[in-house]
Structure 1
Amino acid sequence: MNIRFAPKRVVNSVGIFAANMETMATVIRVTWASSHLTMDSRAARQQRNISKAYILGKS
């Protein structure tokens, strides 16, 4: 599609749509990253507790 000949309204809506997609992608990325971080820290805490119990059990 040649943007030069497209109606201005179409160009604007495409621009708005692209901006919204960008925002959505950022929000999804941040949400995904934070959920993974919390999962990782929870897993790390569990791992620490397991190793602590293992060390206590051995001694």
Structure 2
Amino acid sequence: MGVAPLVQHILIERRRLMQNGCIVSFNGKLNDERLDEQRFETPQHVKTTTAWRSDYNEI
């Protein structure tokens, strides 16, 4: 007794973030605000905390 799904999932292709540009923009602004509120103790702390951003943007 299969029921047809009412919502169809459409996946974003790898490295095609602009296929969902509104969400990417929102997430970027939210992350900027979170980083603005964070207190960094050392330059190394900054590098480790923000390293995910370059990984996210390049992968």
> Normalising by the residue count of structure 2, what TM-score does the alignment of the two structures yield?
0.34
Higher helix share: 1
Structure ID, larger Rg: 1
Q: Which has the higher contact order (CA 8 A, sep 6+)?
A: 2
What TM-score do the two structures reach when normalised by structure 1?
Answer: 0.34
